[in-house]
């Protein structure tokens, strides 16, 4: 069955029951708008994925797109120190797409949101020639937000989550392979450490970012916003085994993927030197006076130019 | 200058200063997410506009698209009885579009939101072959939401805002004309009566909808959700002068535009018969036991089939 045969109303009738609603949802999808009870302040972020730009339908299943669209937005919420509460999803579908693809997409949304207690509370469907997914994530924040601008000299720099996996997975896909599955899935189905954001906030994180453009690029945003230099000690940045193995197979220094690859949606934060670094966070550097990002402790092929790195 | 020459970062740097931020915005655009102080519960709705489906770039300027994208979403928020507080805007732009178009789009967002005290707090830009705008509106609700499902027999039915103007404007555009400007602008730059939503809620409205699909269609949604029949007295539904004049010019019964045309984003509500109908609302009918929508008091060409109308 093609989506144009079912129509918008039929699609929504089919999809909505698949999406569980948390206690925070006072009015579920189906009215003019959803209504939410959000304790504290409200965190909001939006990201759009376009077929051919951010994803490829031949590489990404409906489940993959649903997971990715949810994850990239929930990670932005977590990077403020907040917990994701709700998603709103605008989906533009070519008329000839199969309804089963949309079922899979909704299943992907469910897989990504249900473990986090986040509900899909709104959506809009439209026909259009290019598959496009725009997601807005809303979160609840019960303390002050952790901005990009709060890092101070003397802070430690820490990360939580995978680095380089999604970039290695993209390299695998670009070379026409579909395995190792663990790397390909890292690219297609990011699994950010959402709870690590509020944990870092509670530990007194002075600044935090979601690693979407690459560790050095996103630390560069943090450094610029804070007016400091971030020094990354490459000897403290782990290269996980699947990433290292794939680098060897492809003749690529895997540290390039780790330092410059985005899309894993790890979190990077700075904390006062006497702060207790929360579980699962690894200290990888320090904050000093200055500007930009410096990589020290190793000569990394292809990243030598990141001294005073300022990619926007 | 084309948008691909400026890039996403350059575009955002250019656009963000044009968007004023209200006191409700604790963290403005520029970090991983915005942070808002929203009193009461949070109302959220999303709608997507696609070039060639919901708008045509040869008919709609950048300002028009900005106004329309903001208005359709803020109207959904108002229809719950809430006040719009913030918008998040995902914009997919063909690479060859002029940056001045984007400037105009942002100016349209500003024109639609500033009078309402609503801030554009987030956004995402992407290249893509089809101009697509996905907007999420967030609102603040300080009482219970006004749902579609609360209408009861004996209630009066009232509307606030224009009916038929946008449909008449679309007929003008479809025939290749650009005037009368007042009708064309009604189609391109909807101006929903946002404050009338909270006013109706305070007056004890039992149910409310945004008229986006057409008065009879949206009252049909309300009737179905509430398990009632809505009876519209056509003798009480005004046909405004520009709509009447255009109907005469085109040989169309203008009541068809008034009863079935969407896109003006008027509000329709039901209230207890002893409620004080707020200013600017007009009573046009009543709620009875039964189902669907009945038009009484006039034979309207093309709408005779709306007895027990159940268009979804």
In percent, the amount of chain A with pLDDT more than 70 equals 96
What are A265-285's pLDDT values in tens digits? 999 999 999 999 999 999 999
Nearest residue on chain B to A218, judged by CA atoms? Answer: B32
Taking 90 as the threshold, does the pLDDT of residue B7 lie above it? Answer: no
Taking 80 as the threshold, does the pLDDT of residue B111 lie above it? Answer: yes
With CA atoms as reference, report the closest residue to B112 among B54, B40, B188, B44. B188
Q: Which residue has the tokens 């004080």?
A: B276
Whether A95 and chain B come into contact, CB under 8 Å, resolves to no
Query: Are the beta carbons of B208 and A148 separated by less than 8 Å?
Result: no
Per-residue tokens: B52 = 């060639």
Q: What is the mean pLDDT of chain A?
A: 92
Q: What confidence score (pLDDT) does residue B304 get?
A: 40
Q: What is the mean pLDDT of residues B284-304?
A: 83
Q: What is the mean pLDDT of residues B104-109?
A: 95
Contact (Cβ atoms closer than 8 angstroms) between residue B141 and residue B61 = no
Q: What confidence score (pLDDT) does residue A250 get?
A: 95
Whether A34 and chain B come into contact, CB under 8 Å, resolves to yes
Q: What is the mean pLDDT of residues A231-250?
A: 96
Taking 50 as the threshold, does the pLDDT of residue B276 lie above it? Answer: yes
Q: What confidence score (pLDDT) does residue A55 get?
A: 85
Q: Where residue B18 falls among pLDDT bands split at 50, 70, 90?
A: confident
Q: Where residue A309 falls among pLDDT bands split at 50, 70, 90?
A: very low
Q: What is the mean pLDDT of residues A182-192?
A: 96
Q: What confidence score (pLDDT) does residue B301 get?
A: 58
User: In this complex, which of B47, B88, B124 lies closest to A124 when CB atoms are compared?
Assistant: B47
Region of poorest pLDDT, from A2-6, A161-165, B72-76: A2-6
Within the 180-209 window of chain A, which residues sit less than 8 Å (CB to CB) from chain B? 208-209
Q: Where residue A304 falls among pLDDT bands split at 50, 70, 90?
A: very low
Residues of B in contact with A225 (CB under 8 A): 31
Q: What is the mean pLDDT of residues B286-310?
A: 70
The rounded distance, in Å, linking the Cα atoms of B10 and B2 is: 12
The rounded distance, in Å, linking the Cα atoms of B188 and B191 is: 10
Q: What is the mean pLDDT of chain B?
A: 92
Q: What confidence score (pLDDT) does residue B192 get?
A: 97
Pick the more confident residue, A81 or A3. Answer: A81
Residues of B in contact with A208 (CB under 8 A): 32
Taking 70 as the threshold, does the pLDDT of residue A310 lie above it? Answer: no
Q: What is the mean pLDDT of residues A243-247?
A: 97
Which whole-number Å values give the CA distances from B210 to A169, B27, B157, B265, in the listed order?
46, 30, 13, 6
Region of poorest pLDDT, from A53-57, A146-150, A235-239, B304-308: B304-308
Contact (Cβ atoms closer than 8 angstroms) between residue B284 and residue B237 = yes
Whether B95 and chain A come into contact, CB under 8 Å, resolves to no
In percent, the amount of chain A with pLDDT more than 90 equals 82
- Four-residue CA torsion sign, A77, A78, A83, A84: positive
The rounded distance, in Å, linking the Cα atoms of B169 and B98 is: 27
Q: What is the mean pLDDT of residues B240-250?
A: 97
Burial per residue of B103-139, b for 16 or more beta-carbon CB atoms within 10 angstroms, e otherwise: bbbbbbbbebbeebebbbbbbbbbbbbbbbbbbbbbb
Region of poorest pLDDT, from A52-56, A145-149, A185-189, B152-156: A52-56
Q: What confidence score (pLDDT) does residue A14 get?
A: 79
Q: What confidence score (pLDDT) does residue A308 get?
A: 32
pTM above 0.90, yes or no: yes
Taking 60 as the threshold, does the pLDDT of residue A238 lie above it? Answer: yes
Query: Are the beta carbons of B33 and A47 separated by less than 8 Å?
Result: no
Q: What confidence score (pLDDT) does residue B306 get?
A: 39
Region of poorest pLDDT, from B50-59, B183-192, B233-242: B50-59
User: In this complex, which of B88, B208, B312 lies closest to A136 when CB atoms are compared?
Assistant: B88
Q: Where residue A6 falls among pLDDT bands split at 50, 70, 90?
A: confident
């Amino acid at each position: 069955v093609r989506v144009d045969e079912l129509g918008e109303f039929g699609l929504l009738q089919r999809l909505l029951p698949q999406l569980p609603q948390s206690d925070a949802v006072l009015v579920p999808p189906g009215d003019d708008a959803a209504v939410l009870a959000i304790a504290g302040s409200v965190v909001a972020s939006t990201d759009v994925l376009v077929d051919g730009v951010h994803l490829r339908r031949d590489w990404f299943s409906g489940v993959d797109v649903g997971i990715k669209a949810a994850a990239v937005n929930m990670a932005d919420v977590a990077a403020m120190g907040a917990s994701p509460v709700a998603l709103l999803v605008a989906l533009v579908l070519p008329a000839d797409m199969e309804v089963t693809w949309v079922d899979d997409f909704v299943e992907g949304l469910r897989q990504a949101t249900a473990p986090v207690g986040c509900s899909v509370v709104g959506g809009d469907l439209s026909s259009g020639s290019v598959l496009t997914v725009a997601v807005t994530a809303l979160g609840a924040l019960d303390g002050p937000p952790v901005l990009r601008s709060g890092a101070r000299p003397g802070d430690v720099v820490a990360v939580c989550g995978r680095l380089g996996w999604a970039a290695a997975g993209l390299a695998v896909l670009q070379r026409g392979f579909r395995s190792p599955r663990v790397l390909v899935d890292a690219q297609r189905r990011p699994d950010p450490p959402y709870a690590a954001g509020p944990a870092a906030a509670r530990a007194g994180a002075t600044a935090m970012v979601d690693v979407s453009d690459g560790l050095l690029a996103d630390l560069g945003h943090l450094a610029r916003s804070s007016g400091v230099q971030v020094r990354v000690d490459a000897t403290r940045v782990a290269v996980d085994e699947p990433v290292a193995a794939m680098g060897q197979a492809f003749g690529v220094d895997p540290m390039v993927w780790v330092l410059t690859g985005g899309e894993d949606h790890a979190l990077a934060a700075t904390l006062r030197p006497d702060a207790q670094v929360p579980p699962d966070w690894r200290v990888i550097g320090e904050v000093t006076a200055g500007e930009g990002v410096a990589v020290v402790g190793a000569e990394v092929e292809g990243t030598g130019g990141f001294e005073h790195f300022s990619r926007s």
